[in-house]
Amino acid sequence: MSEHRSVYPFTALVGQDQMRLALELNAVNPAIGGVLIRGEKGTAKSTAVRALARLLPELQVVTGCRFGCDPRGDRLCADCLARVAQGERPLPWQPRRMRVVELPINASEDRVVGSIDLEAAIKSGQRRFEPGVLAEANRQILYVDEVNLLDDHIVDVLLDAAAMGVNVVEREGISVWHPSRFILVGTMNPEEGDLRPQLLDRFGLCVDVTGISNVSDRVEIVQRREQFEADPEGFGAAFADSEEEERLRIERAMVALPEVEVARPVLEAIARLSIALEVDGHRADLVARKAAQALAALHGLPRAAISEVAAVAPMVLAHRVRTQPGQRPHDVAEVARRILGES
């Protein structure tokens, strides 16, 4: 299956600006920690995530490493550490495009965390580790469609790996660990049930998408989809320029990101906002800072201002606001306007 041919171009999506922005921000700075897209059925959630894959930057990965270690990173896998210890320094690397690794909801634990390599064990008696999805997802996007339907025990495994950035495998006489830092992207239809709060908090950003009620936009959606399916290649070619432009925009933003300044008054505004909204913990503050910074980078600005914070506040905070039973939840956008207006 030539997957690239059948991928709908990101820039051909109509509307859904918040969803697109959240995905772009993550592409600019993966440390934002992924995005959860909640929405009714048929609102291009999955299409957008898969489309993002083509805009993702190239990574440097250690040649021959099963886990795609970053040659200049500080978190190498055991194999790479051994190579360094043997004097292989610097480690040879090659470029590799970042990917979207899918976790099917019916995945079994052995395939998610990895397990003993059966054939090797049977034929040669070797106890070899066969990497699973968590290994494949290292430094990539880990995409879970219908994430709210994921089995509890798989969610536990995901949470463990996400918290430590490491996947530890202790099973069937195998004892292995390897880096597993991924951008978690999930889509869900809230009608099908809620997400566990711990898992919800793992998503850096969260956006709610709804159907578009503008008729001419809807006509555009149908027409593009039809053109795409009738002639994927032709359609892809028609959007090649805009895709390339978008890729460059993200690339430029990535390069600029470390230089984008987030001044102290902006950080203070973020802190005040989190306090006003009674958000648990500090993850929200950190994510808000990174997201505002990434947004400024995307806009080609030298520093992130209050307006950037205001733009990302809903997607950073909406899913972290506590809702007490019988109490009306905070309106994030409204509180943001009030608090940030004072700054």
Partner 1 sequence: MAAIFIPEGTARSISFSAVVGQERMKQALLLAAVDPRIGGVLIRGERGTAKSTLVRALARVLPARTVVADCPYGCQPTEGHLCASCAARQGRGSAVPLEVRPTRVVDLPLGASEDRVVGSIDMEQALLSGTRAFQPGVLAEANGQILYVDEVNLLDHHLVDVLLDAAAMGINVVEREGISARHPARFILVGTMNPEEGDLRPQLLDRFGLCVDVRGLLDPLDRVRIMEQDQGVVRAAEAADAALASQLLAARTLLPQVRVPRAVIQTAAVIAVDQQVVGHRADLVMVRSARAQRALRAATTGESGELEVSLQDLVSVAELVLVHRRRSFGSPSSPVASGDGEPVEQISSSGVSPSEPRASATDASEPGPDAEAGAVATQADSDGAGAETGSGPASPSPGESEAVVVEDAVPVARIQIPRERLRRHGTGRRSQTASKDRRGRYVGARVVERTTDLALDATLRAAAPHQLQRRQAAPPTEPHRLQLEKRDLRQKIRQRRIGNLIVFLVDASASMDAEQRMDATRSAILALLKDAYVRRDRVAMISFSGRTARVVLRPTASVDLAERQLSRLAVGGTTPLTHGLVAALDLIRSERMRDSEVLPLLVLISDGRGNISLRGEEPLVEAQRTAAMVRQERIRSLVIDSSRDHLAGTLAQGSAPSPRMAGFNFNACQDLAERMGAQYFGLFDVSEQGILRPVAEALRRPG
Residues forming contacts to partner 1 in the complex (CB under 8 A) are 1-2, 40-44, 46, 102-112, 115-116, 118-119, 121-125, 127, 132-133, 145-146, 149, 151-153, 172-173, 189, 191-194, 196-197, 211-213, 215-216, 218-219, 221-223, 225-226, 229-230, 325
Contact present, 88 and 129 (Cβ < 8 Å): no
Which contacts of 222-225 are long-range, i.e. CB under 8 A and separated by 24 or more positions?
224/12, 224/14, 225/8
Smallest separation, CB 338 to partner 1 (Å): 28
Contact present, 332 and 314 (Cβ < 8 Å): yes
268: region left, alpha or beta (phi > 0 left; psi from -120 to 50 alpha): alpha
Contact present, 206 and 200 (Cβ < 8 Å): yes
Q: Give the active site residue among 283, 289, 337, 338.
A: 283
32: buried, middle or exposed (CB in 10 Å: 19+, 13-18, 0-12)?
buried
Angle at 307 between CA 49 and CA 342, to 5 degrees: 135
Smallest separation, CB 70 to partner 1 (Å): 24
- Which CB atom, from 22 or from 147, has the smaller least distance to partner 1? 147
Smallest separation, CB 46 to partner 1 (Å): 7
- Which CB atom, from 226 or from 259, has the smaller least distance to partner 1? 226
- Which CB atom, from 1 or from 85, has the smaller least distance to partner 1? 1
Smallest separation, CB 148 to partner 1 (Å): 9
Q: Is 249 a residue of the active site?
A: no
Contact present, 32 and 205 (Cβ < 8 Å): yes
The one-letter amino acid at 74:
D
Q: How far apart are CA 205 and CA 186, in angstroms?
A: 10
- Which CB atom, from 83 or from 202, has the smaller least distance to partner 1? 202
Smallest separation, CB 174 to partner 1 (Å): 9
- Which CB atom, from 81 or from 222, has the smaller least distance to partner 1? 222
Which active-site residues does the annotation give?
A: 283
